[in-house]
Amino acid sequence: MSNKKFDVFGVGNAMVDILAFVSDEFISSRQLNRGAMTLMNSADQSQILQGLELQNLKLASGGSAANTMVAIAQSGGTGIYSGKVAKDTYGQFYRRDMEAAGIQFEVELADEASLGTGTCVVLTTPDAERTMCTHLGISTWLTPQDIDVFKLAQSQISYIEGYLWDAEQPRAACQKTFEESRKHGVRTAFTFSDSFLIDRFHADFQNLLQNHCDIVFCNADEARKFFGQSSLEACIRELGRKVPLGFVTDSANGCYVIESGAIAHVPGFSVKPVDTVGAGDAFAGGTLYGLTHGYSPAAAARWGNYLAAQVVATVGPRHPGPLREHAESILKG
């Protein structure tokens, strides 16, 4: 167990999630990339929202890493989160929502009038698949100066989402986080976030894994895309050659843990799927909680699987309440 103040220092795109249930026809008629995240400008996202005018939309402070940080807090852990929001209604909501969830959020609200807080319209179809329409807004203005090195140094693990790699300044903020983590003895964790990022930044991600990452999270599709092989087992072995510790999620099949080249399968938990959005984020949060509280990677992944299952059975990107009362029994197996 560590005597550091924070379990995890998270860095990510701060987005307000706008959640809606839609038909398959809603997705196809708008030619959206079903089951994936599509970046779009404000006008295109507004057209999507116009088609949802009659729905009762739900808001949540989101972004991949933010959801992970909330899962850590729900487990009983501590964290601080760095992400950029504007001084607008969405930005004020975001800060309140994160702090209510138990995560410190201290990046100053930006005054820039031309860019609002980033938003992600999350469309869930009857099969529980989610399609995301994202306008990054001012989240792309996260800079290295927004990284609080003092609080980073007080954390056991830094956690960075791959989505940040899509813009120059957030990428620089990631690089600073990796560098300062090394200086201060903070372990580094990275998640691929989405397969489309692997297409765009494959060489960069190769460098990150080989030179900067202690822990890597990805799902089975991302692993196959990254290593260019159809065999998941082969991809898992390749990941084990690049990083000390890796976690590959495989939907209802649970996950695989790769520690110093040794591979272990950790079964999942059976639930009726309602909404898959946020499941991978919750898995990472549960796993990071376990790792920062003295549990083995396999035990930590078991708790990650449990949190992911609870989110899959829930509407929205996170479970509505604390889950820490279940943590000890599941972590100890």
Give the other-Cβ count within 10 Å of 28's Cβ.
11
Burial of 253 (0-12, 13-18, 19+ CB in 10 A): middle
For residues 256 and 224, the answer to whether their CB atoms sit within 8 Å is no
Burial of 84 (0-12, 13-18, 19+ CB in 10 A): buried
Q: Examine the pLDDT at 106 and tell me if it is beyond 90.
A: no
- pLDDT of the residue at 113: 62
- pLDDT of the residue at 112: 66
| DSSP secondary structure of 133-164 | EEE-GGGGG--GGGS-HHHHHTEEEEEEEGGG
Instruction: Select from 109, 101, 79, 113 the least CA-distant residue to 14.
Output: 109
Cα-to-chain-centroid distance, residue 44: 24
pLDDT tens-place string over residues 19-45: 899 999 999 999 999 988 898 999 999
Task: Please give the share of the chain, as a percent, with pLDDT higher than 90.
Answer: 76
- pLDDT of the residue at 1: 58
- Distance between CA atoms of 136 and 167, rounded to whole angstroms? 10
- pLDDT of the residue at 254: 96
- Distance between CA atoms of 44 and 46, rounded to whole angstroms? 5
Instruction: Select from 154, 149, 162, 224 the least CA-distant residue to 191.
Output: 162
Give the other-Cβ count within 10 Å of 100's Cβ.
10
Tell me the pairing of strands 215-219 and 187-191.
Answer: parallel
pTM of the model: 0.90
Q: Examine the pLDDT at 115 and tell me if it is beyond 90.
A: no
- pLDDT of the residue at 316: 67
Q: Which residues lie across from 11 on neighbouring strands?
A: 82, 160
pLDDT tens-place string over residues 155-181: 999 999 999 998 899 999 999 999 999
- pLDDT of the residue at 37: 83
pLDDT tens-place string over residues 222-233: 999 999 999 999
Residue 32 has φ and ψ, to the nearest 5°, of -85, 155
